[in-house]
A and B are shown apart, each in its own frame.
Chain A
Amino acid sequence: MQLAKNKQILIGGGIILVFVVIAIFAPQISPRDYWRQDLRASLSPPGAKYLFGADEFGRDIFSRAIYGTRVSLIAALGSAGLASVFGLTLGLLAGYYGGAIDRIIQSGIDVAWSFPTVVLAIVIASTTKPGLGSVIIAIAAVYWAQYARVIRGEVVSAREEEYIVAARACGCSHVWIMTRHILPNVMAPVIVMISITTGYAILLEATLSFLGVGVQPPTPSWGIILSEGRAFMSSAPWITIFPGVIITVAVLGFNFLGDGLRDYFDPYMKRL
């Protein structure tokens, strides 16, 4: 199969697969309960008993990181999914109909685009009820415009193709043309974008949780573990180091997959 020949797709896909397996089988994999405190083990360094060390309450960082995989992946995939559905729909409508609909959606894109990414997410996350749901909404609010902008551009150029004109001439409805004729032809960039934005969504979730406006403790997410370790940075750096490395590897996985898919779909597609 051609897809499997691309090294970036293999490596990226492999990394993501490992994280997905960890997230699904978290209870079976984690050696300890992620919430169990053992004050005698407070701030123990990494070793045989605590692979990644323990935090101030003596909780096992390794187990917390494993459960954190669930929370971080749900937040990232959820927000990338939500953003793609919104962005795809709006981009399709704007590109297909043009005119007033296009202008309204375009100005929405301009507004979303003018916000500094992190700032918009922080404002939304801190003005809504804190938790996983508001994190997903905050991150999706940042990324939908990127989808909408790219899809709109794709649709505008697809609209003039002869097969669309032919479909119109055959009496196909607008909805049918959009979903059956245009959508399949713009899916390649969408798939690439989902992979890349999921990676950035992991970063954004961690940032929000670190700033205290994201997922709330005691729920373990990678960002939460990191922010809890911040106060012990010099006495127990392992609390902070390990989740950071995990986040980096996960984001790398999604970036590799996205880059690989982009090369696979279209070797000339340079940047989305």
Chain B
Amino acid sequence: MIPVLLVVSILVFSMLHLAPGDPVHMMVNPRLGEEAIQQKRVELGLDRPLYVQYLSFMKRVFTGNLGRSIYTREHIAHMLLQRLPNTLELGFTALVLAFLVAIPAGTIAAKHRGQLLDYSTMFIAVVGLAMPQFWLALVLMLIFAVKLGWFPVAGTGGFRHLVLPSITLAAYFAGLMARMTRSSLLEVLGKDYILTARSKGLREITVLLKHGLRNALTPVISVLGMEIGWLVGGAVVVEFVFNRPGLGRLMVHSLYMRDYPVVQFLILFLVMSVLIGNLAADLLYSIANPRIRYV
């Protein structure tokens, strides 16, 4: 995990610093001339050799003193911490929503394999995977916010502000999980112990949920961990469209403004959260499946 983060930090640092477009040129009035631009560059420490800048960047990571944004002069650590709850709230709600929809849907589809109910559920799931997130966001906004007025168009606030963004973010995940649940459950239902359970005379619902679903969910959890990156990336798009002040919107705006320091720490932070998410899924996996033990 640590070596990966180190390589990511070097990559991100060089990507942003070798990129065309100088933030200083956007900050200083060009009529003030080259001298003022040079002065600003010295002030921001951008005149130093790249490796010195990288080392001071890493020093900041380890001391936790992340410095300030080039534009707003706000403390970066403060900016991140302020927006983190909004993103966590969105991601968590979407995840729960996706689970609540996808697992029953996948189970029902598997139960009615080859019937109309199976085909229609799976069709909805595939469409959920194929729709552009930002488009779904706009369509939901148009129908439920603009036309019907049930939910606010954008921004943050109470629960009502969270409904449309989390549905948007959940759609892809729900589609993916419903398909996984179905195929995994179908595989499990073909096993001998299901036949045993049925021949014992257990009720079908018990066989399906207790013997079937419980064993079928393990692979679903492991795929979930691999897709945490999708969730984080999706949050970027959803926050941008719904204008929610979270980490994702901060990243898009900082990139537009070429606010390098903010972007660097933000990406490092997001990558770290993906790695932690993967780790958490591995742990969940070993809890759900005691045969697997990580030593």
Contact = CB atoms under 8 A, between A and B. Distances in A.
Interface of A: 107, 110-111, 113-119, 122-124, 126-129, 199, 203, 206-207, 210-213, 223, 226, 230, 233-234, 237, 240-241, 243-244, 247-249, 251-252, 255-256, 270-271
A118 B146 CA distance: 28
12 contacts: A114-B274, A114-B275, A115-B267, A116-B231, A119-B236, A122-B252, A123-B255, A127-B19, A129-B20, A226-B135, A240-B139, A251-B131
B135 A240 contact: yes
Main secondary structure of the interface of B (DSSP, over half): helix
B142 interface: yes
B127 to A, nearest CB: 7
A125 B240 CA distance: 17
B4 to A, nearest CB: 5
B15 A248 contact: no
Nearest to B234: A118
A226 B3 CA distance: 40
B7 A251 contact: no
A73 to B, nearest CB: 15
Contacts of A199: 130
Interface string B62-83: 0000000000000000000000
Main secondary structure of the interface of A (DSSP, over half): helix
B139 A123 contact: no
A91 B35 CA distance: 51
Interface in B218-260: 223, 229-234, 236-237, 240, 251-252, 255-256
A270 B180 CA distance: 9
B117 interface: no
B134 A207 contact: yes
B58 interface: no
Nearest to A244: B135
Residue of A199, A212, A248, A249 with most chain B CB atoms under a 10 A cut-off: A248
A207 B132 contact: yes
Contacts of A241: 139
Contact of A122 (B126, B135, B141, B255): B255
Contacts of B146: 233-234
Given A116-B230, A127-B15, A271-B223, A230 B271 contact: no
Interface of B: 3-4, 7-8, 11-12, 15-16, 18-21, 126-127, 129-136, 138-139, 141-142, 146, 180, 183, 187, 223, 229-234, 236-237, 240, 251-252, 255-256, 263, 267, 270-271, 274-275
Contact of A210 (B19, B134, B232): B134
B233 A118 contact: yes
A252 B130 contact: yes
Contacts, number: 132
A129 B129 CA distance: 30
Nearest to A205: B132
Given A233-B146, A270-B183, A119 B232 contact: yes
B16 A127 contact: yes
A250 B146 CA distance: 28
B274 A115 contact: yes
Contact of A244 (B131, B180, B187): B131
Contacts of A230: 138
A244 B132 contact: yes
A73 B126 CA distance: 20
A123 B263 contact: yes
A233 B141 contact: yes
Residue of B135, B139, B230, B237 with most chain A CB atoms under a 10 A cut-off: B135
Nearest to B131: A248
A127 B8 CA distance: 16
B233 A119 contact: yes
Given A244-B139, A251-B130, 20 more contacts: A107-B3, A111-B7, A111-B11, A114-B8, A114-B229, A114-B271, A115-B270, A116-B233, A118-B236, A122-B251, A123-B267, A127-B15, A127-B21, A128-B19, A206-B134, A240-B139, A244-B136, A248-B131, A251-B131, A255-B129
A141 B55 CA distance: 26
Contacts of B20: 127-129
Contact of A117 (B21, B138, B229): B229
Nearest to A270: B183
Given A111-B4, A122-B252, A123-B255, A117 B230 contact: yes
Contacts of A115: 8, 229, 267, 270-271, 274
Contacts of A126: 255-256
A186 to B, nearest CB: 21
A207 B267 contact: no
Nearest to A128: B19
What 8 A-B pairs come out closest when comparing CB atoms?
A: A118-B233, A127-B19, A244-B135, A251-B130, A116-B232, A116-B233, A116-B229, A252-B130
Contacts of B4: 107, 110-111, 114
Residue of A110, A119, A271 with most chain B CB atoms under a 10 A cut-off: A119
A235 B121 CA distance: 33
Nearest to B255: A126
A128 B271 CA distance: 21
Contacts of B7: 107, 111
